[in-house]
Amino acid sequence: MLRHEFQPGRLIVGVFLTAAGIAYAGDAGGLWTTEWFAVIPVMVVGLFLAGVTAALTRAIRRRRRAPEN
């Protein structure tokens, strides 16, 4: 398997998408009731946090790669 660069922003999006899926699966299974619009704030927060994390990761990696003069 080829090694790839760790991208924490994608990890955060995956966690929030999984949480949204669990919310709808619980509703479909009859464990609780989830309104159709309840996942929208969860996804907005998840995408915002992923964007911030990706920007910070890129800035940190760019700074580490900068040649010292």
Per-residue pLDDT of the chain (69 residues; tens, 9 = 90+): 778 888 999 999 999 999 999 999 999 999 999 998 999 999 999 999 999 999 999 999 888 886 766
Sign of CA dihedral 43, 48, 53, 59: positive
Residue 63 is predicted with a pLDDT of 86
Cα 31 from Cα 28, distance rounded (Å): 8
pTM value?
0.82
Q: How many helices (H) and strands (E) does the chain have?
A: 2, 0
